């Protein structure tokens, strides 16, 4: 039986609409350029120095490229551009965690070569910029692909229906096959989970796990105390019997109390101080 390959690669594509698109892409470019971080939980700062970006010659940045292409649209169309027109595509390509040594320049170069091959095949003739992130647990790349180079702000040929998106995953897998990666399971119902939500869930799980551990430790301590008290009672009874006495004979002069642990600790602390 062939061993299952768990080295997966995949890509996510999100449309960026004209309405508030420039504002969104400013934030996206700041994140991609590491001018701001979405979360610090998964950042490995010692690898930030290896992050880099590449762009096609005519890419001027998301906002300036849009303004240039919109000018062409206005010159060739009489109708005002719709607010739901697509100004660009926000792309994220990723591989399975811990499958790339970010400190190895040869592995970084190989990763970039595969990513660039994907961009050229999938978005041939478009203007785009790609950012490589090596300082997170999952090495990945972000890319922004500008629409409207031909005066058309429509991304159907890149996203379209489920068939086109499935083909995109195939292209991604073909480009990363030299590194031993395969595409995800076809027809999977799994959804992409934003990194902020993922770490929020992880932190919540750690809190719940911590509370469960505290309860278990408390239960173990209480069990140990009960066992120690039972052992003390048994030893006391054995001593009384060895002396030929009955418990009732010394009840008035001897009493075993359930000593509170805090009081015992305070007593010991006072004794040590003396």
Residue 183 has what pLDDT? 86
Residue 78 has what pLDDT? 87
Residue 255 has what pLDDT? 46
Cα 79 to Cα 66: distance, rounded to the nearest angstrom: 17
In the chain, which segments carry CATH 3.30.930.30?
8-192
Q: Which residue has the tokens 């990723």?
A: 94
DSSP H/E element including 10: strand 8-17
Its sign, for the CA torsion 23, 25, 29, 30, is positive
What spatial distance separates the first Cα and last Cα of the chain, rounded to whole Å?
73
* Contact of 126 with 58, CB cutoff 8 Å: no
Structure tokens belonging to residue 19: 């309405």
Return the HEC string of 187-255.
Answer: CCCCCCCCHHHHHHHHHHHHHHHHHHHHHHHHHHHHHHHHHHHHHHHHHHHHHHHHCCCCHHHHCCCCC
- Counting every residue written for the chain, the total comes to 274
For 8-192, CATH gives 3.30.930.30
Residue 144 has what pLDDT? 93
Is 99 strand, coil or helix? Answer: coil
Cα 191 to Cα 80: distance, rounded to the nearest angstrom: 35
Task: Extract the residue ranges of the chain whose pLDDT is less than 70.
Answer: 1-5, 21, 31-42, 187-209, 236, 240, 243-274
Q: For the whole model, what pTM was predicted? A: 0.65
Residue 168 has what pLDDT? 94
Residue 256 has what pLDDT? 45
* Contact of 26 with 90, CB cutoff 8 Å: no
pLDDT single digits (tens) 60-105: 988 899 999 999 899 888 888 888 899 999 999 999 887 888 899 9
Q: Give the number of other Cβ atoms within 10 Å of residue 120's Cβ.
A: 14
Residue 269 has what pLDDT? 54
Which residues are bridge partners to 91 per DSSP? 13, 143
Residue 108 has what pLDDT? 94
Residue 264 has what pLDDT? 54
Angle at 90 between CA 20 and CA 150, to 5 degrees: 80
* Contact of 143 with 130, CB cutoff 8 Å: yes
Structure tokens belonging to residue 100: 């790339």
Q: Exposed, middle or buried by CB within 10 Å (0-12, 13-18, 19+), for 16? A: buried
DSSP 8-state assignment for residue 42 = T
Which residues are bridge partners to 145 per DSSP? 89, 128
Residue 41 has what pLDDT? 59
Residue 248 has what pLDDT? 58
Structure tokens belonging to residue 252: 């008035």
């Amino acid at each position: 039986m062939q061993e299952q390959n768990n080295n997966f690669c995949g890509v996510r594509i999100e449309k960026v609409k004209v309405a508030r698109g420039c504002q969104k892409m400013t934030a996206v470019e700041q994140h991609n350029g590491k001018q701001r971080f979405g979360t610090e939980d998964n950042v490995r700062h010692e690898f930030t120095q290896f992050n880099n970006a590449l762009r096609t010659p005519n890419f001027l940045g998301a906002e300036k490229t849009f303004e240039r292409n919109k000018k062409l649209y206005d010159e060739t169309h009489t109708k005002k551009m719709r607010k739901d027109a697509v100004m660009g595509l926000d792309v994220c390509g990723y591989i399975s965690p811990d499958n790339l040594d970010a400190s190895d320049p040869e592995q970084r170069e190989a990763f970039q070569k595969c990513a660039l091959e994907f961009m050229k095949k999938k978005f041939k003739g478009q203007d785009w910029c790609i950012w490589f992130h090596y300082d997170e647990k999952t090495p990945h790349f972000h890319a922004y692909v500008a629409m409207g180079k031909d005066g058309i702000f429509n991304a159907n040929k890149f996203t379209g229906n489920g068939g086109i998106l499935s083909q995109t995953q195939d292209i991604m897998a073909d480009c990363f096959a030299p590194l031993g990666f395969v595409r995800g399971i076809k027809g999977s119902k799994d959804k992409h989970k934003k990194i902020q939500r993922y770490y929020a869930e992880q932190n919540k799980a750690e809190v719940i796990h911590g509370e469960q551990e505290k309860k278990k430790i408390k239960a173990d301590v209480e069990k140990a105390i009960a066992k120690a008290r039972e052992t003390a009672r048994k030893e006391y009874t054995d001593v009384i019997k060895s002396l030929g006495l009955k418990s009732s004979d010394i009840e008035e002069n001897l009493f075993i109390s359930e000593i509170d642990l805090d009081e015992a600790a305070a007593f010991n602390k006072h004794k040590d101080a003396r």
